[in-house]
Structure 1
Amino acid sequence: MSAREAPVRVGVLGCGGVAMRRMLPAMARTPCVAVAAVASRQRARAESAAARFGAEPVHGYERLLAREDITAVYVPLPPGLHAEWTARALRAGKHVLVEKPMTTTAHQARELAALAEERRAVLMESFMFLHHSQHAAVAQLVDRGAIGQLRSVTAEFGFPPLPAGDIRYRPDLGGGALLDAGVYTLRASSLLLRAVPAVLGAQLSVDPGTGVDVSGHALLAGAGGAVSHVSFGFRHAYRCVYTLWGSTGSLVLDRAFTPAPEHRPVVRVRRQDGAEEEVRLPADDQFARTAERFAALVRGAGDPAAERSAAVGQAELVDAVRTAAGRARGGVG
């Protein structure tokens, strides 16, 4: 078996919820990736997690990074720890797949991108929804004129309050709705507007007890005149959807960001004359597609510079939303 055919041996830093529920099971069913080791600061937790995936448990993140049999690292730690451990992994000669958001600030993102370029390493932000085929189908509908000229995008992602001890209520770990749910809506806006948009205005509501933002909104402008309005938070009824409104119709995609692998998407198209159509799409596994994309980049297929640029652009957009919310009268509070 050649190096290009052999599975990419991945070590995992941490046993976070998204890793255990979604990403590691996807890697385990993806032939091009092998979950080789799982590290935790708690020995028992590493052993339990590793046993589920036939991997080797490692007590401590530093020990995993020192292993020469590990080609790449997956970082599902809390956002506030991403920059530190991604940098350490890159300096250890590893390629890195890091959970969204890659960093909590644009400055950190630019530093990591420069380090990855210097080390000739793949650095990829794990926005799994981008790799689901439903979004390419939406783009094809728009390109075929199903809704005319795109005028606006609305993207919403929210869910009910979290348990009191959840890390997303901890500012020191990069908590808050913007970095947890809002980043999906912002990244979707860039995808659907086909460029990183400018921020026209924003609002963040902060919980005085925890100090983190628990909901927010932003108005964004695309280069072609289309705009996007995003809403997000964790004090809502569950909603995970985007809507494209054009000159002659509109389309809606539910479960836009977190569809299960067996979910069959439905795009609802409504035209100016009142005609309605449901476009049914095949199920897709965005978690496995993400692992495949990362493995391909590690093997030399694809453009790692584009991944770095996209992650930096996303981090700059998040920073711009924070800045706009801070400037807005009553924008934070």
Structure 2
Amino acid sequence: MADPLRIGVLGCADIARRRMLPAFAADPDTALVAVASREGRRAAELARAHEGCAAVEGYEQLLATEGVEAVYVPLPVALHAQWVEAALLAGKHVLAEKPLTADPADTRRLLALARSRGLVLMENVMFVHHPQHAAVRSLVEDGAIGEPRSLSARFGVPRLPSGDIRYAPELGGGALLDIGVYPVRAAVHLLGSPLRVVGATLESGPHAVVETSGTALLRAESGVAAQLAFGMDHGYRSSYELWGSEGRISVRRAFTPPADHRPVLRLERRGGVEEIALEPADQVALTVAAFVRACRAGHGGAPDAEACLEQSDLLDGIRRSSGPPTPHAAHAAHAAEGHR
């Protein structure tokens, strides 16, 4: 039996605290050995909650720590390229929060670097590891809805606290990279590639300097269209629907289901409606397990490289197609009032 994969964490982000560190600690195939912060106090506070985990001040110090085989990078997206590269150059496998970078050129460069050094670089897109999406793809492949015609995917979350880093443009904030990445990846996961951006809009809400909502229309070579909507000033919604020539499949709680959630796929056809109940699944634990398997397989590179690159190109295409975010109507009116 292989020894547990020894993991260090670069940063004390909320997703690390709430989801990933508990998953590392619970998996017998991983050992959480160190957590780093630019402030030693924050690292010490987080490390105390996990037996055998050392607190390290400074990301460079963690990368130099003997015995750390892999690192998890939950830093803001604007810092991903720098620290993912540093980790790979230090000989560590990397699990990085999504999106891997904000620039397709950086994404390609890092994936090539990982491959050349025989190291795993995996993007932490957890929902693709949930079995409900494999069940959807199986139904489509079996002809349950006939020929696919369109995908509609929606993901929105309520307004965040005003000081949240996702409102900071210098850190890569904004709805596109934080929220829009989910429906974009759903399109890649369910429709395959290549996809192209037909049109897109981004809008900034009141008092925000980053986009807080957006829409995008994508098209596959087959002609299947994907209509995407996302935002971080919305009533919660996490769903998608695949519509075909003979029916449709809809999925609720598509992107961030809790581990005890019992998925129900709704299949609507001319003969009626069928609800297909699935067993609960912990997509966080499944993601950790997939990362460990990739690291232990001995093959360098990214297990999801093609999807990661396609996603990166689409996010960039949405940004370019939409142009600068359009101010929310109330925000624009306020600005106009201030210039009178």
Tell me if the contact between 1:296 and 1:302 (Cα under 8 Å) persists in the aligned partners: no
SS in 1 for 2:48: helix
Q: Which residue of 1 aligns with 2:265?
A: 267
2:60 aligned with 1:62: yes
Letter in 2 for 1:133: P
**Which of 266, 274, 278 is the aligned partner of 1:277?**
274
Q: Which residue of 2 aligns with 1:157?
A: 155
Letter in 2 for 1:35: L
> How many residues were matched structurally?
326
Shift of 1:45: 1.1
Letter in 2 for 1:164: S
Q: Which of 303-312 and 284-293 deviates more? A: 303-312
Q: Which residue of 2 aligns with 1:175?
A: 173
SS in 2 for 1:198: strand
**Which of 16, 31, 34 is the aligned partner of 1:37?**
34
Q: Which residue of 2 aligns with 1:294?
A: 291
- Measured against aligned partners, the alpha-carbon deviations of 1:265-306 in whole angstroms (never above 9, x if no partner) come to 011111124x01110001111101111111111111677344
| Separation (CA, whole Å) in 2 of partners of 1:36 and 1:135 | 33
2:305 aligned with 1:308: yes
Shift of 1:308: 2.8
SS in 1 for 2:158: coil
Letter in 1 for 2:235: A
Inter-CA distance 170–87: structure 2 relative to 1 (3 Å threshold): same
SS in 2 for 1:213: coil
Instruction: Among all aligned residue pairs of Structure 1 and Structure 2, give the percentage whose two residues are the same amino acid.
Output: 49
- Structure 2's unaligned 5+ residue stretches are 328-340
Q: Which residue of 1 aligns with 2:226?
A: 228
**Which of 7, 11, 27 is the aligned partner of 2:4?**
7
Tell me if the contact between 2:3 and 2:29 (Cα under 8 Å) persists in the aligned partners: yes
Q: Which of 48-57 and 252-261 deviates more? A: 48-57
Shift of 1:208: 6.8
| Separation (CA, whole Å) in 1 of partners of 2:163 and 2:311 | 28
Shift of 1:209: 3.7
Inter-CA distance 106–332: structure 2 relative to 1 (3 Å threshold): farther
Shift of 1:49: 0.8
- Measured against aligned partners, the alpha-carbon deviations of 1:24-76 in whole angstroms (never above 9, x if no partner) come to 11111111111111111111211111121221111111110001200000000
Computed over aligned residues only, the root mean square deviation of the Cα atoms, in angstroms, reads 1.5
TM-score by length of 1: 0.94
Structure 1 segments of 4 or more deviating over 2 A?
206-210, 301-310, 330-333
| Separation (CA, whole Å) in 2 of partners of 1:332 and 1:222 | 27
Tell me if the contact between 1:297 and 1:304 (Cα under 8 Å) persists in the aligned partners: no
Letter in 1 for 2:82: E
